[in-house]
């Protein structure tokens, strides 16, 4: 049985994801890393102009991978960008995890971003462990929080612990499994390791009563229901004061699924399969804008990867030797010698690897399920200096390969269109064009409202194209896309062309 646990933390900004990440790394034995999660962000930001956006908005645009170990289990924590503005990066990162921790603020409950991210997890049946953070502060009642999670997300909830008071009367966290209370100590009222059994009078009567009701009033934990994504165990704690963090690590170690089988065109690929397969879920440009090399993040689905191994990218057809892969151990990049199913490795390359690519030893697998999403915002790209067309084309191709934006080249005319699912992606586009490609561009309103990938027989597509050339574009791969002026337009065309599919996503 694999000892890998690959997971992400989903939350609304400010719920405490960064703080919890630090504490997980600290508990995981990576002590030198504590307190450095944000510092790393700051050091990074200095490196390139476009990251000023991060600075201004106090957000992290780039995801990374952190690995830590505890009691023989290797945890791979994939960081999802935490800003309110949704990006495709976030979706794709969630395709590479086997489970997630959902952090919610005890005073605020389920917030919009939590819900969106949760929906992505549900789409893929990713099991969720809930962490109700900040119980050292005044929060909603425990019942209210539990019921909100159950109602808003249509999940069974099982409290695994219970706060002994909150805010001014906070006296620790009770754990139902061990029947012990973790107590605050010192001026900081932190958890420093003091654990007491629950004895008569150890906690105020009203809270004891509430806990009893809580234990009796919810179903018992059911591993299968959790792994199916139907039930979430709920832990209460304080990342800041270190309550509940250890329980959370134990929960991931004990309950969270080891590497899951992954869907492919050739059927389900089992992690036990002996040859190496994996897929690229993210491509990141080099931090140094002068260099065009990138790092492709590959999730290993099966096999044991060894340095120097030859793998065949599905987009290329011929093998590449992976000589200097990167294993992500927190922010220290170490050269990986071996990696196993569930691990993430970084593969430096010059644009050969793209999001959605499969890599395999035998070139006999194509993973599915890493979609491009129909853009919600479309903009025309207008150059300030019209002689820079070539540079712009190169930049748009590069950035769409990285997944920063999607690009559509209309069949008629020369006005290129970019599409995104969140406004932030547009800001990143404009500043990266300037910083890395020396191209000044403006984004103007587009005559189109949305885009749909066309699927059907060649003849059907050709027939449609002949009549709708002014609404047709090609994406980066040369695939045909219907540019629609409205959602109504899509419905109308779909009705008139029943042999074509107007798809809102494109799987590579
Ligand atoms: P993120 O935006 O989700 O990464 O949130 P952060 O980890 O940056 O936390 C947001 C704010 O909440 C910071 O000021 C933290 O110090 C604070 N915070 C995080 N966890 C706790 C907690 O358990 N208790 C209290 N009182 N504050 C917390």
**Residues in contact with 128: Cβ distance below 8 Å, sequence separation at least 6, in sequence order:** 10, 99, 100, 101, 102, 118, 121, 155, 229, 232
On the question of pLDDT at 336 being above 70, the answer is no
Block residue for tokens 């605020």: 108
Look at the chain and report how many structural domains it folds into: 3
Question: Does residue 108 share a domain with residue 247?
Answer: yes
Contact criterion met (CB below 8 Å) for 334 and 465: no
pLDDT digits (tens, 9 = 90+) for 180-226: 999 999 999 999 999 999 998 999 999 999 999 999 999 999 999 99
CA distance 450 to 427: 19
The predicted structure's pLDDT at residue 286: 59
In this structure, what CATH number is given to the domain that contains residue 400?
3.30.70.3280
CA distance 401 to 389: 18
126 versus 338: which is more confidently predicted? 126
Which of 55, 46, 47 is CA-nearest to residue 83? Answer: 55
- The CB of 101 under 6 Å from ligand 1? The reply is no
Buried b (16+ CB within 10 A) or exposed e, 124-154: bebbbbbbbbbbbbebbebeebbeebbeebe
On the question of pLDDT at 384 being above 60, the answer is yes
Which amino acid residue places its CA nearest to atom 2 of ligand 1? 14
* Residue 406: strand pairing partners: 419
Block residue for tokens 């009701």: 213
pLDDT digits (tens, 9 = 90+) for 66-114: 888 888 888 999 987 655 556 677 778 899 999 999 999 999 999 988 8
Question: Does residue 345 share a domain with residue 435?
Answer: no
Tell me the best of 240, 242, 244, 248 to mutate to test the pocket of ligand 1, counting ligand atoms within 8 Å of each CB and taking the most: 240
Last residue of a domain, one of 337, 360, 383: 360
Last residue of a domain, one of 318, 335, 360: 360
How does residue 317 score in pLDDT terms, banded at 50, 70 and 90?
confident
How does residue 55 score in pLDDT terms, banded at 50, 70 and 90?
very low
Q: Residue 382 has what DSSP assignment?
A: E
The predicted structure's pLDDT at residue 84: 55
Which amino acid residue places its CA nearest to atom 6 of ligand 1? 16
Question: Does residue 503 share a domain with residue 404?
Answer: yes
The predicted structure's pLDDT at residue 203: 93
- The CB of 12 under 6 Å from ligand 1? The reply is no
Question: Does residue 503 share a domain with residue 394?
Answer: yes
On the question of pLDDT at 62 being above 80, the answer is no
Question: Does residue 334 share a domain with residue 399?
Answer: no
Last residue of a domain, one of 334, 360, 386: 360
Its ipTM equals 0.99
Question: Does residue 295 share a domain with residue 248?
Answer: no
Q: Are β-strands 338-339 and 305-306 bridged in parallel, bridged antiparallel, or unpaired?
A: antiparallel
pLDDT average, residue stretch 254-270: 95
**Residues in contact with 491: Cβ distance below 8 Å, sequence separation at least 6, in sequence order:** none
Question: Does residue 492 share a domain with residue 352?
Answer: no
Question: Is residue 185 situated within a structural domain?
Answer: yes
On the question of pLDDT at 330 being above 60, the answer is no
Cα torsion 355, 361, 365, 369 to 10°: value is: -30
On the question of pLDDT at 59 being above 50, the answer is no
Question: Does residue 246 share a domain with residue 330?
Answer: no
Please give the C-alpha separations between residue 76 and each of 5, 65, 192, 431, in angstroms, as whole numbers: 6, 7, 26, 31
Question: Is residue 461 situated within a structural domain?
Answer: yes
Question: Does residue 221 share a domain with residue 153?
Answer: yes
CA distance 333 to 327: 6
On the question of pLDDT at 468 being above 90, the answer is yes
pLDDT digits (tens, 9 = 90+) for 104-156: 999 999 998 888 889 888 888 899 999 999 999 999 999 999 999 999 999 99
Question: Is residue 261 situated within a structural domain?
Answer: no
Contact criterion met (CB below 8 Å) for 92 and 49: no
Question: Is residue 76 situated within a structural domain?
Answer: no
Question: Is residue 480 situated within a structural domain?
Answer: yes
Please count the CA atoms within 13 angstroms of the CA of 258 that sit on its side-chain side: 12
pLDDT digits (tens, 9 = 90+) for 272-300: 999 999 999 988 775 555 566 778 899 99
Which domain does 324 fall in, by range? Answer: 277-360
Question: Is residue 326 situated within a structural domain?
Answer: yes
Average pLDDT along the chain: 86
Contact criterion met (CB below 8 Å) for 198 and 181: yes
How does residue 372 score in pLDDT terms, banded at 50, 70 and 90?
low
Which amino acid residue places its CA nearest to atom 9 of ligand 1? 16
Question: Does residue 284 share a domain with residue 196?
Answer: no
CA distance 193 to 355: 44
Decide: helix, strand or coil at residue 143. helix
% of the chain beyond a pLDDT of 70: 87
Instruction: Determine which of 54-58, 176-180, 319-323, 467-471 has the lowest per-residue pLDDT on average.
Output: 54-58
The predicted structure's pLDDT at residue 40: 45
Q: Measure 272 CA to ligand 1 centroid, in angstroms.
A: 39
**Residues in contact with 495: Cβ distance below 8 Å, sequence separation at least 6, in sequence order:** none
Question: Does residue 286 share a domain with residue 170?
Answer: no
Question: Does residue 345 share a domain with residue 301?
Answer: yes
CA distance 157 to 440: 51
Which of 153, 147, 172 is CA-nearest to residue 162? Answer: 172
- The CB of 240 under 6 Å from ligand 1? The reply is yes
The predicted structure's pLDDT at residue 32: 36
Q: Residue 237 has what DSSP assignment?
A: -
Which amino acid residue places its CA nearest to atom 17 of ligand 1? 16
- The CB of 397 under 6 Å from ligand 1? The reply is no
Q: Which two tokens stand for residue 424?
A: 């932030």
Q: Residue 470 has what DSSP assignment?
A: G
- The CB of 80 under 6 Å from ligand 1? The reply is no
Question: Is residue 1 situated within a structural domain?
Answer: no
Which of 362, 315, 359, 371 is CA-nearest to residue 504? Answer: 371
In this structure, what CATH number is given to the domain that contains residue 129?
3.40.50.300
The predicted structure's pLDDT at residue 380: 95
428 versus 489: which is more confidently predicted? 489
CA distance 43 to 52: 12
The predicted structure's pLDDT at residue 360: 96
What angle separates helix 37-45 from helix 17-27, to the nearest 10 degrees? 120
Question: Is residue 195 situated within a structural domain?
Answer: yes
* Phi (first) and psi of residue 252, to 5 degrees: -65, -45
């Amino acid at each position: 049985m694999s000892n890998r646990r690959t997971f992400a933390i989903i939350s609304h900004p400010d719920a405490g994801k960064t703080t919890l990440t630090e504490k997980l790394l600290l508990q995981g034995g990576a002590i030198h890393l504590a307190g450095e999660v944000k510092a790393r962000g700051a050091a990074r930001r200095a490196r390139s102009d476009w990251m000023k956006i991060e600075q201004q908005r106090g957000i992290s645009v780039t995801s990374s991978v952190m690995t830590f170990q505890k009691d023989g289990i290797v945890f791979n924590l994939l960081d999802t960008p935490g800003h309110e503005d949704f990006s495709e990066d976030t979706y794709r990162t969630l395709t590479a995890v086997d489970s997630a921790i959902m952090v919610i603020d005890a005073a605020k409950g389920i917030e919009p971003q939590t819900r969106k991210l949760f929906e992505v997890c549900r789409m893929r049946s990713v099991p969720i462990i809930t962490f109700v953070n900040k119980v050292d502060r005044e929060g909603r009642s425990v019942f209210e929080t539990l019921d909100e999670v159950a109602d808003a997300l249509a999940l069974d909830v099982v409290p695994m612990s219970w706060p002994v008071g909150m805010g001014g009367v906070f006296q620790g966290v009770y754990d139902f499994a061990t029947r012990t209370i973790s107590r605050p100590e010192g001026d900081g009222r932190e958890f420093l390791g003091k654990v007491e059994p629950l004895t008569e009078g150890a906690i105020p009567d009203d809270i004891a009563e509430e806990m009893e009701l809580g234990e009796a009033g919810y179903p018992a934990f059911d591993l299968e229901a959790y792994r199916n994504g139907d039930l979430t165990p709920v832990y209460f704690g304080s990342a800041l004061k270190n309550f509940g963090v250890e329980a959370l690590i134990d929960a991931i170690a004990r309950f969270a699924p080891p590497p899951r089988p992954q869907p492919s065109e050739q059927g389900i690929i089992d992690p036990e399969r002996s040859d190496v397969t994996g897929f690229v879920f993210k491509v990141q440009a080099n931090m140094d804008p002068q260099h065009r090399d990138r790092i492709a993040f590959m999730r290993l689905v099966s096999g044991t990867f060894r340095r120097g191994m030859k793998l065949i990218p599905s987009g290329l057809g011929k093998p590449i030797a992976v000589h200097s892969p990167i294993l992500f151990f927190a922010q220290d990049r170490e050269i990986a010698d071996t990696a196993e199913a569930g691990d993430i490795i970084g593969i430096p390359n010059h644009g050969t690897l793209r999001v959605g690519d499969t890599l395999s030893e035998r070139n006999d697998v194509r993973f599915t399920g890493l979609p491009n999403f129909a853009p919600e915002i479309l903009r025309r790209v207008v150059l300030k200096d019209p002689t820079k067309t070539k540079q712009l084309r190169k930049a748009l191709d590069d950035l769409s390969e990285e997944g920063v934006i999607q690009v559509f080249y209309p069949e008629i005319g020369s006005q290129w269109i970019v599409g995104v699912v969140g406004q932030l992606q547009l800001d990143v586009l404009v500043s990266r064009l300037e910083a890395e490609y020396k191209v000044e561009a403006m984004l103007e309103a587009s005559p189109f409202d949305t885009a749909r990938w066309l699927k059907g027989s060649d003849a059907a597509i050709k027939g449609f194209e002949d009549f709708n050339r002014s609404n047709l574009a090609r994406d980066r791969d040369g695939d045909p896309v219907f540019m629609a002026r409205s959602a109504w337009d899509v419905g109308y065309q779909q009705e008139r062309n029943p042999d074509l599919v107007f798809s809102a996503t494109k799987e590579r």
